[in-house]
Chain A
Amino acid sequence: MNFRPLLLAALLVGCSAGAAAAQNVGSVGAANQDATGQPPGGSARGLTVGAGVVQRERIRTNSDGSAQIAFKDSSALNIGRNSDITIDRFVFDPATGAGEMTTSMTRGALRFVGGKVSHGSGSTIKTPAATIGVRGGVASIGYDEAGRLHVVHHYGVVDVVNAGGVVKLLRSGFETVVADYNSPPTPPARVDPALLAQIMARVTSNAAQRGGVKKQPTNSDAARFDIGIQRLGGETPNFDLPAARDNLARGRTLTRAPIPASTKYPDSCGTGCR
């Protein structure tokens, strides 16, 4: 029996799988040290802005570290301090916008901002306490000091599932809290603003950090691109009302036939009465 075709096929499959594993799924959008990335089979390296990120790369931060990972489908993970996150799988076809995204977080905090993949099949974030599905959407996820997992909805649909049950978050500003994998997620409730502020502070730079760049963007840079000019449009007065008033008046002034001269007009008539 000739095994050469089978061997060749196995070799091709192996090569393509290796190439896929090594293919960049995005890049480091920003990084405050210490933040490290460890590709599968490789050693940990300090994250630098613009460096490629691959599938199954493990990203860890210490108490000063934070990072943003920008994916090819326009989504991003803002990774907070003291976090340990692995990009398990990211597949994206730019032509169709379809794909798949799975991330694991064993500690820390992150904000996920969705892109084309999450708007299609959804994205999954696995934690020891629950699996979180995000469709569309934006969500903040983080552990508190007591070790409980907080999942905060900002946009889209967020499903939180574990052995204890399922909670669906559909409204911004609501959260569920999960103690462990066997405890049911709490019913949705408004998030404590202090907790939200704490998570927000963890997933970005502190006042002294620069996210890994030498030259900082300035407000004048932003202004040149009309960043910061958004305004609300005021609610317009209801101008259907004068039209309705006009039709009332027409009902009163249009005659079906001559009005007898003896017609009495109300005492409240103005100058137009006879």
Chain B
Amino acid sequence: MVARRLLAARRRRALFGHAGALALFGVVGAAQAQTVLADQASLLPRVIANPADHETNFAYARASVEARDYEAAIVALERTLFFNPNLTRAKYELGALYYRLKSYDMAQRYFEDALQTPSLEPDLRARIEIMLPAARKEMEPSRLSGVLQLGVGYSSNAPLAPPFGFIRSNGADIPNPGPYYQRGGANLTALGEVRHVYDFENQRGDLWETRFAGVGTAQFAFGELSSVLFEASTGPRLALAPEALPGATIRPYVVGSYATMALGRLGSSIGGGVTARFPIGDAFYVEPGVEWRHLDIAATSRFLEVASTQNTGGQWTGSLAARWTPTDRLSFDGKVLYGRNSSLTGALTSRRFGLEGAARYEFDPPSESIGWRWSATPFVRYAETRFDAADLFVDPFVVRVDRQVRIGMQLDMPITKAFGVAALVQYMRNNSNLPNYRASAWSGLIGPTVRF
């Protein structure tokens, strides 16, 4: 009876979670975490007193999963396998629990065991076909993974230019002579990220991580703005103190990027940085980092563009990122950053301050045969750029200050083991104390994804 009441209460919480989590409320996550812990604590004495009460046992396993006490859930479900060695749902769940503990060998054993059990349900088979290869891959010393997307996009301001009106020139407002004004346009975008991890197979868990990321966009209405941006970084991820501070790592790396526009070189960068990750409990970590790059901006035919060779210089960025995962399905990311761009002129030398937040909510897909969770990630990003000196070409008496806000939502819908669909919708607004740099745009992108 109590187990049923708790089940009903949990379902009510789940319904609330589906509706409420997307509202970005951390309070909801914290309250849910407290409630599931209370559920779990109330069920344990009943399980100890009567281990053969299957309903209480399953309710306890469920509450333990939601409380992210995966070991307690393992105890409960391994007990049910004593009672019924053909219980495929318990085998699958155990595989998934060991996977979450990064015990990939045990996860593999349970998934393989479930596959060999007669009358395995098709929905479990679909999920195992995703999780088993993932578990096997995690045990390989050399691991390659990635996600690529090809999408059709539209922006209400494809050139991200100021609206038709006035711009400042030599301290006076003049009609915007163009050629770029706010105007909508579609594009075809390919983006991807590929990661390689080499596992040194030592007890410290040291890795060598290499990451390639790139985006290419063909603009339909503004072909000269079609661009390709490519970035790569590589470096070791070393455990700081695997026994005293499990999960704490440091990662020095080198990084480089290359960008083209209209098939001509736009610029490149090369540099290096170091980040460190410190878990605090099971649900939280912080990641401070610092990076330096040398930027080399190519000469263009239009001397007075913002991205001219005068931007060539150095770029320092310091950041502090954090992730909080209050429940199994909900995580919050936050980041604060401060940076400085040193350019050839004071008018293009600037300090940057940024604040970013995102909430990722994972939910079950509409079909049981889909083996992945789907996710919705609303985000907000704020960036403030303050330049050192006034730009004489624009206004000798006003030092430029830009404040850019991006808000949006990304939706990820994996469907088969490798293929899915992802979408992004966002609004960007750049407020500036100079009209030349004001711009706003709604934009969206949707298209198929490939994972491997």
Contacts and interface: CB of A to CB of B under 8 A. Distances in A.
Contacts of A239: 191, 410, 424, 445
Interface string B410-450: 10101000001010100010100000110101010100010
B393 A257 contact: yes
Contact of B72 (A74, A171, A217): A74
Interface residues of B, number: 142
Given A72-B48, A138-B71, A236-B375, A256 B224 contact: no
B86 interface: yes
A255 interface: yes
A236 B422 contact: yes
Interface string A151-186: 000110100000000001111111000000000000
Contact of A256 (B101, B180, B393): B393
B177 A258 contact: yes
Nearest to A67: B82
Interface in B216-271: 217, 219, 221-227, 229, 242-243, 246, 259, 261-264, 266
B55 interface: yes
Interface string A46-82: 0001100000000000000010101010111010000
A157 B433 CA distance: 57
B422 A263 contact: no
B66 to A, nearest CB: 9
B164 interface: no
A173 B199 CA distance: 14
A234 B376 CA distance: 11
Interface stretch (A6-14, A83-91, A240-248): A240-248
Given A155-B101, A225-B59, A229-B364, A75 B75 contact: yes
B17 to A, nearest CB: 13
Contact of B80 (A217, A253, A265): A217
B87 A217 contact: yes
A222 B87 contact: yes
A106 interface: no
A270 B224 contact: yes
Contacts of B45: 72
Interface stretch (A36-44, A123-131, A142-150, A204-212): A204-212
A271 B223 contact: yes
B377 to A, nearest CB: 7
A116 to B, nearest CB: 9
A248 B83 contact: no
A99 interface: no
A259 B302 CA distance: 7
Classify chain A: how many residues form its interface, as a range.
35 or more
A78 to B, nearest CB: 6
B343 to A, nearest CB: 12
A236 B410 contact: yes
B131 interface: yes
B93 A255 contact: no
B50 A50 contact: yes
Contacts of A227: 58, 61-62, 77, 89-90, 93
Nearest to B262: A268
Interface string A219-255: 1011111111111111111110111111011111111
B179 A170 contact: no
Contacts of A244: 215, 229
Contacts of A253: 159-161, 180, 225, 305
A271 to B, nearest CB: 6
A74 B69 CA distance: 10
B82 A205 contact: yes
Interface string B285-321: 0000000000000001110111100010000000000
Contact of B109 (A115, A197, A232, A268): A197
B134 interface: yes
Interface of A: 26-30, 32, 49-50, 66, 68, 70, 72, 74-76, 78, 111, 113-115, 137-138, 154-155, 157, 168-174, 188, 190-191, 193, 196-197, 200, 204-207, 209-213, 215-219, 221-239, 241-246, 248-259, 263-266, 268-274
20 contacts: A70-B47, A113-B71, A113-B75, A169-B203, A170-B246, A188-B203, A210-B84, A219-B121, A224-B7, A225-B61, A228-B92, A232-B99, A232-B372, A235-B145, A235-B147, A237-B422, A257-B304, A258-B177, A272-B221, A272-B222
Given A248-B227, A269-B224, 19 more contacts: A26-B48, A74-B44, A196-B105, A205-B82, A213-B52, A217-B80, A218-B87, A219-B121, A228-B90, A234-B372, A236-B147, A236-B377, A237-B193, A243-B428, A255-B305, A268-B224, A269-B262, A271-B222, A272-B221
